[in-house]
Amino acid sequence: MHDLSRTIVLIPCYEPDEKLFRLLKELYETNFLKIVLVNDGSGESFSPIFKQCEESFGCTLISYQTNRGKGFALKTGFRYIIDKIQDFDCIVTADSDGQHTPEDIRRVAAESLANPEFLILGTRDYKNKNVPLRSKFGNSLTRIVFKFISGISINDTQTGLRGFSKKVVKNFIKTAGDRYDYEMRVLMQTKQKNIPIKQVKIETVYIDDNSSSHFNPFKDSIRIYSVFGAHIATFLFSSLFATLIDWLLFSVLIYFVFQMKMPENSGFSEIISSIPLFISFITARAVSSFINFIINRKIVFKNKKKAVLSAAKYYLLVIVIAVLTYLLLSLFIAAGIPSVIAQPLATVILFFASYYFQRAFVF
């Protein structure tokens, strides 16, 4: 058995109802005696509920006037626990709407105490018939996109039941995002910070079709997907910048240095074996790929592994992509497409393949 006295349960609250009191009562009866509530600007009308929770269960209450969002509430709680309480081994975050049972909170706490290097996620079974269709669809889509972006397979990307050891939680105090997007940013940063994830199956609870949730399907979904969009946009900028360098060097070499003009009706074999075309392509790709590697390593993927190892894998991928691009380039020119158009076209076609393998294999 793990010592629950070293575990703090952190619950962000916005306009809670009787389900919060019921959860606290069950936690108290399960020997969770250190509970921190963050009143995320619920308003004066909810003060009696919070006062009752304080008096009945000895909860620590943090309050502020304006609703700032779940992410802000979580970070406020984390900072308070680290700075003021200090004496703890792990923090378990749980929702105030009754979706997380005391038994599941205990199991997540136990995993966090046993695996302090890991971020622990309590994951629901979205195949359960009790899951609302919108939640099932939303999680499935987010799970697929998250795996493509990060390479990490998670069954429940939207879970609020998470276990943070003292060592792990310090990595996410300054993570951006004040609303529901914060929890997605935490997941995205685990790979950058080399923090492994361990998943714990929990009970799938949806009370009254999850009607008490303050999740706004439109606004909050945009915030969550903007996390993915920002990451892809950064990679896109890096790729476009490198592609521009690639294209400019290629054009200068092909037209001004070699002054290459392919005879009309040139065949594929004649084009692909052209020495000026090959030298122009390889020189431009060598320079642009070096620039792309630096930007992707430092900014896009924020990779902290040894540069030599990453560079070796990156240039192996560059060779493969370059061969495929050169084949496409030759095919396009043979089809009558001008070389200055064919070259960036071939590069764009292989954009998503390049991202996928850089994320999965290189960084």
**Residue type for 201, please?**
K
**Residue type for 66, please?**
T
**Tens digits of residue pLDDT in 151-181:** 899 999 989 999 999 999 999 999 999 999 9
Domain spans, the chain: 4-215, 229-362
Which residues partner with 63 through β-bridges? 39
User: CA-to-CA distance for 224 and 70, rounded, in angstroms?
Assistant: 13
CATH superfamily of 4-215: Spore Coat Polysaccharide Biosynthesis Protein SpsA; Chain A (3.90.550.10)
Ramachandran category for residue 15: left, alpha or beta (phi over 0 → left; psi -120 to 50 → alpha):
left
User: CA-to-CA distance for 201 and 90, rounded, in angstroms?
Assistant: 19
- Of the ranges 90-94, 96-100, 156-160, 238-242, which is most confident? 90-94
Which residues partner with 13 through β-bridges? 39
pTM recorded for the entire structure: 0.75
**Residue type for 34, please?**
K
pLDDT at position 301 is 78
- Decide which of 268 and 170 is more confident: 170
Q: What kind and span of H or E run contains 19?
A: helix 18-29
Instruction: Write the CB contacts of 3 (distance below 8 Å, at least 6 apart in sequence).
Output: 89, 113
